[in-house]
Structure 1
């Protein structure tokens, strides 16, 4: 095996850009706003820790990121709303951890069955029995608990189908990623970049998470959310701006684990790694620009939600420029 250290390793290109990005695009947050966020996070964590005790397969390291994300994205909602939004964030992590084998030890057929049952649970919470003690069953019980709460939430009548569809896409995407990973491991076959992005925008969980926020908050909307193309575009841009940044940050880890991501695909097409890093950051930035545009054109009742997406998009890019979100690491 070659000992050559690719030019872009250790996040080299993005390190050049993060201070410039922070200065140019990340708006200052008033001190009192930060203090309010920190206070609510501190208030929420004990409740989330107690909830996790019921579903201990969920990794404790996920609690603070999920809590911070729910509060920073929606600073002015109630404690109960923050709590439910944070729980949906923990589901993103938990399902991803099951699919990646971070928790549990499922064979491929078992994983497929579990993910299909998760989707059915989101559709009809009491349709599945989740009394098992294995990790996949514990996560299924957590999905069931959150789904029951979302079915009873303020925006369920209007937005529940949107959340269920994006939950389904997330789980279906994990199965597609599994098949793609197995082909890569067996014969080195890589998918196209377009295919990878089309799948991974759903598996990152952002569309499911932000759809759940609409269920929790319940803003008025006369149209069917599933038929509103601006909602779909906003969710897709939000997912892809994060996906590109996540892939830069996780490239070395995933390479070591025998996996691939968008940068692998760019490099396989002949692009030097440092250039691939820069390409990824630029593509992420273009999705943020697109998100800003579409968020401003949403129906009036959804404009606050759109502003939340934009703020979260800025936060996500800046966060990934300093550390990896899904797998905590030193930013040194």
Structure 2
């Protein structure tokens, strides 16, 4: 692991926990399955690259992580299903990039209006026009394209409302985070850790993404997903698992950009950076354990989906221990 610029990034803590985690997962992935997954990733990349050409605001660096996540979480589904799930994953990155100012140059009020239009597009794909040549319009076009496909997907009748709700929570959370960021920049006021986690478990995008997978996979579940507490718990655990690990990896970058995250808030409460990093990784592990328990108690038709959440949780936790997921570290020599 690289040791360049390690201030605030206690690689010794992560290395220790990573080794423990790898030892606990010593069975690993069979070589034949790994080769098959790698081959499927290569197959998916060309159509995803062609799709991105229609919506060029989506950063090219996002394609590989979205494809890896789709294949790792759903290795047995069809090519077409994995492709649509990967596109839903790319929406996570694209909406986050618009909300965070990574792409585009929108004022705060414009960000709010754009995110509200994204939510409306997800509710009714043809209700909005996305004909502009700016970044927000390209992302809107991508949202519209995925929404149209999910509205026509086999599981739309049962699971579309769940996906729409979690897309709404993701966008609403981004607006709350924007207000919190501006307040911090103006007067140094930080939110509580509880508030931050309550919002950021949805803005990480994992719950929205996994709801999209339900629409695509269409398990034979006759209940009401929005009223199923175990579904809500599984999505919450998945979001918090990803949030804690993302914040470990992005602490240096976000601090340099004048932002805060869960580790910043732990440090503000008196933890050292090493203590904050250890707590974050351990809390991510606790959410993974909780997710594993909840997945096993889901209604029978949803248990295969629950297993995919657990598999993705293991994948994402190890991935974050190696490198940052949302912002690839070009200087890193590590390989997953």
Q: TM-score scaled by structure 2? A: 0.96
Q: Report the RMSD for the aligned CA atoms in angstroms.
A: 1.2
Contact 1:295 1:307 in 2 (8 A): yes
Q: How many positions carry a matched residue from both structures?
A: 328
Give the aligned partner of residue 266 of structure 1: 266
Structure 2: distance between partners of 1:295 and 1:289 = 10
Give the aligned partner of residue 16 of structure 2: 16
**1:21-54 deviation per Cα after TM superposition (whole angstroms, max 9, x unaligned):** 1111364100110111111111111111111110
**1:62-119 deviation per Cα after TM superposition (whole angstroms, max 9, x unaligned):** 1111111101110111111111000000000000111111110100000000000000
Contact 2:10 2:274 in 1 (8 A): no
Give the aligned partner of residue 230 of structure 1: 230
Give the aligned partner of residue 85 of structure 2: 85
**Poorly superposed stretches of 4+, deviation over 4 Å:** 5-8
Contact 2:201 2:243 in 1 (8 A): yes
Structure 1 residues not aligned, in runs of 5+: none
Structure 2: distance between partners of 1:86 and 1:167 = 15
Structure 1: distance between partners of 2:102 and 2:55 = 16
Structure 1: distance between partners of 2:284 and 2:333 = 20
Contact 1:323 1:331 in 2 (8 A): no
How much does 1:11 deviate?
A: 3.5
2:153 is equivalent to residue 153 of structure 1? yes
Structure 2: distance between partners of 1:178 and 1:288 = 28
SS in structure 2 opposite 1:296? helix
**1:106-152 deviation per Cα after TM superposition (whole angstroms, max 9, x unaligned):** 00000000000000000000000100010001100100000000000
**1:181-236 deviation per Cα after TM superposition (whole angstroms, max 9, x unaligned):** 00001110000000000000000000000000000000011110000000000010
Give the aligned partner of residue 131 of structure 1: 131
SS in structure 1 opposite 2:322? coil
Give the aligned partner of residue 318 of structure 1: 318
Structure 1: distance between partners of 2:67 and 2:96 = 17
Structure 2 residues not aligned, in runs of 5+: none
Give the aligned partner of residue 181 of structure 1: 181
2:189 is equivalent to residue 194 of structure 1? no
Give the aligned partner of residue 216 of structure 1: 216
**1:266-286 deviation per Cα after TM superposition (whole angstroms, max 9, x unaligned):** 100111111111111111111
2:60 is equivalent to residue 64 of structure 1? no
Contact 1:11 1:249 in 2 (8 A): no
- Could you say if the C-alpha distance between residues 100 and 27 of structure 1 is closer, same or farther in structure 2, counting changes exceeding 3 Å? farther
Give the aligned partner of residue 100 of structure 1: 100
Give the aligned partner of residue 289 of structure 2: 289
Give the aligned partner of residue 277 of structure 1: 277
Give the aligned partner of residue 240 of structure 2: 240
Structure 1: distance between partners of 2:10 and 2:180 = 26
Structure 2: distance between partners of 1:24 and 1:149 = 39
Structure 1: distance between partners of 2:284 and 2:278 = 10
Contact 1:8 1:277 in 2 (8 A): no
Structure 2: distance between partners of 1:210 and 1:6 = 34
2:119 is equivalent to residue 122 of structure 1? no
Q: TM-score scaled by structure 1? A: 0.97
Give the aligned partner of residue 41 of structure 1: 41
Give the aligned partner of residue 257 of structure 2: 257
Give the aligned partner of residue 171 of structure 2: 171
